[in-house]
Structure 1
Amino acid sequence: MYVVTAAATADGERGGCLVGFASPCSIEPSRFMVWLSTANRTYRVACRASHLAVHVLRSDQKETAALFGGRTGDDTDKFARVDWRPGEGGAPVLADSRAWLVGRILERVEGGDHVGFLLDPVEQSASGPDGAPLLRLGDVADLAPGHPA
């Protein structure tokens, strides 16, 4: 599971959500694809952003997953509840994630009820696993989403 964050380029509005559809998709050039639900507020912010940040969570970060997956930014300032800093293009980078990357949005691809954002990674956390287990879908299967998927 990933947390994707965005900041709208013009007004700085921030959004972030929990996603399960994301993957590296090219070695050379390096590319990463992340899919956002069109029902999600983060999708609307991402459409006005130049960059997205993609965060890998540890299995002990269910509270962070619940914040970004079970609450909507329509009524909750998620960023007031976590430590973060602006990354490239203003994309919010969460301080306590296992690993992260910030990518410049190259393209948007329609995919039904989700839209894919093709990213050119421009900034990332230090390489190398820290040994902590990753947060997986089964770890958050009981989480009620903040918006319908």
Structure 2
Amino acid sequence: MRAVLGTFTTGVVVVTAMGAEPLGFTCQSFASLSLEPPLISFSPARTSTTWPRIREIGRFCINVLAHDQAELSERFARPGIDRFAGVEWRAGPSGAPILAGISAWIAGELAGEYDGGDHTIVVGAVRALERDPERHPLIFYRGHYAPSEHWQAWPVIGER
């Protein structure tokens, strides 16, 4: 199943929140869910020790990583370290960290949670969002990050 579904290209996000200290984890299971009302979805693993702490806070920020931030993705996926050590960020509308240099961010509030087997399906209500049109997203495909040099040939798509 992993091999077949790995042929589906995904972006990579870091879900953050502000508790007594900043919290965050890497997530590839992220999607836009609804435009009206504005909803997003992501699915942390049931084994996540960070998601229950963010759930308790109820507010979070989805940081869409940029093409040159694979190292940041790996950092926030690693257990047992201070994931924010040396990482530049600023507080978003709800206080949740917005990481420096990202492609986009979405501030949200927990709207619902559903069983998803070995993952939890989280639905979030979008409260604010912003993008940097000059920053392309980090792409994950067949177990690897897409090399950032491929993005140099891609045009930046403007507003419609």
Q: Same fold (TM over 0.5)?
A: yes
Unaligned runs of 5+ in 2: 1-11, 146-160
1:101-149 deviation digits (Å, cap 9, x = unpaired): 11011111121111122111112224x622x43211138638xxxxxxx
Q: For residue 25 of structure 2, what is the amino acid of its counterpart? A: C
Structure 2 residue 89 is matched with structure 1 residue 88? no
Amino acid paired to 1:64? L
Would you say the 8 A contact 2:103–2:136 is kept in 1? no
Corresponding residue of 1:50: 58
TM-score of the pair, normalised by structure 1: 0.79
Q: 1:98 aligns with which of 96, 100, 103?
A: 103
Coordinate RMSD, CA, aligned: 2.0
Which runs of structure 2 are paired with 1:7-46 in the superposition (5 Å)?
7-8=18-19, 12-46=20-54
Structure number with greater Rg is 2
> How many angstroms apart in 2 are the aligned matches of 1:13 and 1:32?
25
* Cα deviation code 1:69-103 (max 9, x no counterpart): 2x11xx31111221112223332211221111110
Q: Which runs of 4+ in 1 moved over 4 A?
A: none
Q: 1:59 touches 1:139 (CA, 8 Å); kept in 2?
A: no
For residues 133 and 85 of structure 1, do their structure 2 counterparts lie closer, same or farther at Cα, with a shift above 3 Å needed? closer
SS of the residue 1:123 aligns to? strand
How far apart in 2 are the matches of 1:95 and 1:136?
A: 18
Once the 2 structures are TM-superposed, how far is the Cα of residue 27 of structure 1 from its aligned partner? 1.1
Structure 2 match to 1:129: 133
Q: Which residue of 2 aligns with 1:145?
A: none
C-alpha distance in 2 between matches for 1:140 and 1:49: 32
Q: Secondary structure at the match of 2:137?
A: coil
Asked if the contact 2:38/2:125 (under 8 Å) is kept, the reply is yes
Query: Does structure 2 conserve the Cα–Cα contact (< 8 Å) formed by 1:104 and 1:120?
Result: yes
Q: How many residues align?
A: 134
